[in-house]
Amino acid sequence: MDCLHLGGLRCYGYTGALPEEQVLGQWFEVDLKLWLDLALAGASDSLADTLDYREVINEVQILIQTEKFNLIERLADAIATQTLTHKKIQQVQVRLTKVTPPIPNYTGNITVELMRSQPDAL
């Protein structure tokens, strides 16, 4: 199976367990790996034969900007679920990073990574 990587997608969103995170918001970064068959597109050089990844990027941006969840695990799962609505995608890996979590004396980031597949791909 072929793989398409979409990396470094940054969006401002309102997911977090603390009330202020859902009001003030914060930056998130998403990396996606999309498994799909790219053979036809490789031969035809036609956008119609592949996934228009601009649609996936737009959907992820809207989801992060408009939805509010307590946990980044839930947001990552929502991104995976939305991405798998594209039937050409057989499997997705979502790597979601909370860029600057509101944790005192902590300057790192927090990342959750998960994989999901089409039900018939199992």
Separation in Å, CA 104 to CA 27, 97, 101, 107, 108:
17, 18, 9, 8, 11
CATH number at residue 84: 3.30.1130.10
Catalytic residue of the set 33, 68, 87, 98: 98
For the chain, the domain total comes to: 1
Tell whether pTM > 0.85. yes
CA distance 56 to 62: 10
Instruction: Kindly give the residue spans of alpha helices, DSSP state H, lying in 2-96.
Output: 19-24, 39-44, 53-66, 72-83
Tens of pLDDT, residue by residue, the chain (122 residues): 899 999 999 999 999 999 999 999 999 999 999 999 999 999 999 999 999 999 999 999 999 999 999 999 999 999 999 999 999 999 999 999 999 999 999 999 999 999 999 987 65
Provide the token pair at 43.
């031969």
CB atoms within 10 A of CB 120: 7
Q: Is 98 a catalytic residue?
A: yes
Q: What is the pLDDT of residue 121?
A: 62
Task: Specify the 3-state DSSP secondary structure of 59.
Answer: helix
Paired with 116 in beta bridges are: 92
Residue 75: domain span: 2-121
CA distance 67 to 15: 7
